[in-house]
Structure 1
Amino acid sequence: MWYNDLRPDSELLNDRYSLIMLDEADHYKRMLDDPAKKRTLSNLLRLRQGLLANVPKKTVDNNLLLCSWNIKNFGTLKDRTAESLYYIAEIINAFDIVAVQEINRDLSDFKKVLRLLGSHWKYTLSDVTEGNAGNDERFGFIYDSRRVTHSGLSGEIVIAPELAADNAIIRQLKRTPTFTGFESGWRKFSIVSVHLHPGEGDANETLRKEEVRLLMEVLDKKISSAAFINRNMIILGDTNLYKDDSAIVELITDHDFIESEALVGRFTNTSLSQIYDRLFLNVNDYFKIAKDDLGNEQGGVFNLFDYVYINTTAEIANYHLLMTSHKDDPSNLTDDASFKSYFNRYWKRNQMSDHLPVWLELQTESSDEFLSSKFRNL
């Protein structure tokens, strides 16, 4: 991570040229004053401890940490602070590959996060899905090139006309999924990142179900294709699958995908009320999810708000001035209770996200199993 912007001015000397957090709209004024730097440093230390306690360490030639995160309107929300970008980058830095949904057309914040991460972090981006339904969104993967490489496979999932029904309610997914290949050691795999149609109720569920049906028809053909080399496939992202969407989940699992046990039933939105973000795998016997000493799959949901933007009166008070300046009409922010309500319902979600990162640890060392299998087959 690149923490140069958090240093005292007296330490910068000839390093001023390397600052990242500069306000282009205000003559490149520094975006972090000394109180903000001190607060960010303190919270980063707490966040790093939280990541260390909840996410496995990266180990050479042994594991791969995969994460999926819907970062709310990443590029559209103009009041997102430099402080928040540091927290976003720190969370990404704990993993090896992070699939990001809701990256918008404006990539200014995205590029700042990449610079904070360092030059060994690479990325792929899809184009934005045009039209109102696409919501000006694109998909991205950010990955640590020291531990994983892009295989060269990259594209978008387009539905062939003949797959849609005669009186189809949709003919393409409203936000075009991406299809990207990666390699780690001798493992090759592909990841499909999705952001499905949201909303409860029969109409929304019917539309989302048709999106999944069309998607699985396309992926089934890809997996069975003799020309397709990355048959280890992972579907992840903001699936917008609600607690009652078991019939839609079955459309995925009926195509030999399994949902990660570590994430089944885990709430992934900030309100901890829905299971929006899911992760499904269709992989061979040597592509394994890592397990702990008790045999449980290693994965989970990282609740970042346990470590930054904590829901306490003292913590919220640190952001009163920012909330007042960001709110269109701050006249009703008159006491601690009103600040607390606005902080939890809107402001902290606009700083970070209304979704929490979901993650999975993959085992990349299985040479013993591979060699034993070949020995038995001879």
Structure 2
Amino acid sequence: MAQHFTEAEWQQIETHLNAALPVDPQAYGLPERRDGSVVLMSWNIRKFGALTDRDGRKKSPGAMRMIERIAAHADLLSIQEQQEKTGALEALVTALGPDYDVIYSDVTGRSPGYRGMSERFAFLYRHDHVRLGHLASDLSYDRTAIAANMNEALKASFDTSVPGEDDPGYLERLMAWVQNTTQMVGAQFSTFVQFIRSPHLVEFVIEGPEGRYEIYAINAHLVSGKKRERQQEFFALLEWLLHDSRKTVSERGKIIMIMGDLNMDFDTSNDRRRIGIENYVTSINAKRKLDAKVNFPFLDGNFNTNARRTQTYDHIAWLADDTRLPRGRHNDLAGTLGSDQFDYGMFDFTQLFVEAGPGRMPDGTPDYARFAHDLSDHLPIWVRLPLPAADQRRFTTT
């Protein structure tokens, strides 16, 4: 069984956090709940599924209390790694009380007879500011597109694996390729075919004083394999959303909000990732005459969102033509415009555990084994937006 903090150690951590918050209401990056704004949060909660199994509790009581405490600071929380069983999620909703509700997807990432990389996607939301809309759907490619992707992948595999007919080893290599290909070994393919886990879209409406944000929230946990596979899934998702943005963003005024674990480590530099995304979006917008503007603020903020604080895997980003939302050029103003204005951050529970004591090894470094399985190996990230108002027309710095 994985290690975890004892109950006494969890109480020590909670006491430390309780003492820090009156001094700094957003200690360790935990977002404060405020009347004039909403907090949108995303969190990969490692293997969040059954509450108990034959060995006892899957997560310790202290870990569940910490999850409840973090979730209580969100108006809308997107959860990844929600397992097939939902006992822990149901316990979380019950603990938070009647102000909260939940919606989650069917299991994705598996097929009959295969285990796959299956999980659900869940959204937890608070009724006083967030209302469930009318649309909920997986994002996937239709059969024609999958067949075209498969044919492209097969052609690429053939071109790289089978020599020309005049090569002495042609027949032997051809037969080996055919035998392997008929087994449909996905690892042979070097091009995108379909998402390993289909991202899930749910419509939410954030109500304010005589105004609203209409959001298509996209919960995604992209592939965690080779860097090329990660890159292919990420840009496939971005192109899918940009393709749909003419109808949803331009014509219907929706905000497409990506809230998930995108496993973006296909480049070593956040600056280079941001420039690459900007160039990609600009080229598609020019080609298709789209209006959507894209902002990935966590590429600007130098946030490392895994518990080891080495990678920016997790993102809250938006595609919108809504001038009330900040553009990328506004990201450095986050947290400077007023208590209820645009801000974003990350709850660094790794630092909390180290400074509280139980999460610190003798050399002062984090003891990841004590919490990475019991709580999570990802840190919760969040964005604050002001509640929409009747006179709200444009993101302003005044």
TM-score, normalization by structure 2: 0.68
1:202-221 mapped onto 2 (5 Å cutoff): 204-221=226-243
RMSD of aligned C-alpha atoms?
A: 3.6
Q: CA deviation at 1:302?
A: 1.3
SS in 2 for 1:167: helix
Work out the CA distance in 2 between the residues paired with 1:140 and 1:226: 22
Identical aligned residues as a percent = 21
2:349 matches 1:370:
no
Distance 1:96 1:226, change over 3 A: closer
Letter in structure 1 aligned against 2:228:
T
Q: Which amino acid aligns with 2:245?
A: I
Q: Which of 268, 277, 291 in structure 2 is aligned with 1:244? A: 268
Distance 1:213 1:274, change over 3 A: closer
Q: 1:40 to 1:55 in 2, by over 3 A?
A: closer
Q: Is the 2:255–2:322 Cα contact (8 Å) retained in structure 1? A: no
C-alpha displacement of 1:80: 1.5
Aligned 8 A contact 2:195 2:222 in 1: yes
- Displacement of 1:179 in angstroms is 0.5
* Structure 1 residue identity aligned to 2:380: P
Q: 1:112: how far off?
A: 1.4
- Paired residue type of 1:305: T
Cα deviation, residue 116, structure 1: 1.3
1:271 aligns with 2:282: no
CA deviation profile, 1:123-160 (whole Å, cap 9, x unmatched): 11011112467423111111111111111211111112
* SS in structure 2 at match of 1:362: strand
Matched residue SS, 1:88: helix
Distance in 1 (alpha carbons) for counterparts of 2:216 and 2:10: 39
Q: Is the 8 A contact 2:218 2:256 kept in 1?
A: yes
In structure 2, the CA distance between the partners of 1:211 and 1:161, relative to structure 1 (3 Å rule), is farther
1:72 corresponding residue in structure 2: 46
- SS of the aligned residue for 2:64 comes to helix
After the TM superposition, which residues 337-348 of structure 1 pair with which residues of structure 2 at under 5 Å, given as runs?
344-348=367-371
Partner of 2:33: 58
Q: CA deviation at 1:36?
A: 7.6
Superposition deviation, residue 235 in structure 1: 1.3
Is residue 2:217 matched to residue 1:191?
yes
> Which residue pairs with 2:335 in the alignment?
292
Give me the whole-angstrom Cα distance separating, in 1, the residues matched to 2:294 and 2:350.
Answer: 31
- 8 A Cα contact 1:72 1:352, kept in partner: yes
Deviation of 1:316 after TM superposition, in Å, equals 5.4
Residue of structure 1 in register with 2:354 after alignment? 310
Structure-2 change in CA distance of 1:71 and 1:179 (3 Å): same
Q: Does 2:187 correspond to 1:175?
A: no
Larger RCO (CA under 8 A, 6+ residues apart)? 2
Q: Structure 1 residues 196, 354: closer, same or farther in 2, change over 3 A? A: same
Could you tell me which residue of structure 2 aligns to residue 154 of structure 1? 136
CA distance in 2 between counterparts of 1:188 and 1:120 reads 20
Tell me by how many angstroms 1:122 deviates: 0.7
Query: Residues 265 and 58 from structure 1, CA distance in 2 versus in 1: closer, same or farther, beyond 3 angstroms?
Result: same
Alpha-carbon contact 2:45-2:375 (below 8 Å) kept: yes
Mapped contact 1:288–1:363 kept (Cα < 8 A): no
In structure 2, give the amino acid aligned to 1:82: P
CA contact (8 A) 2:298 2:312 kept: no
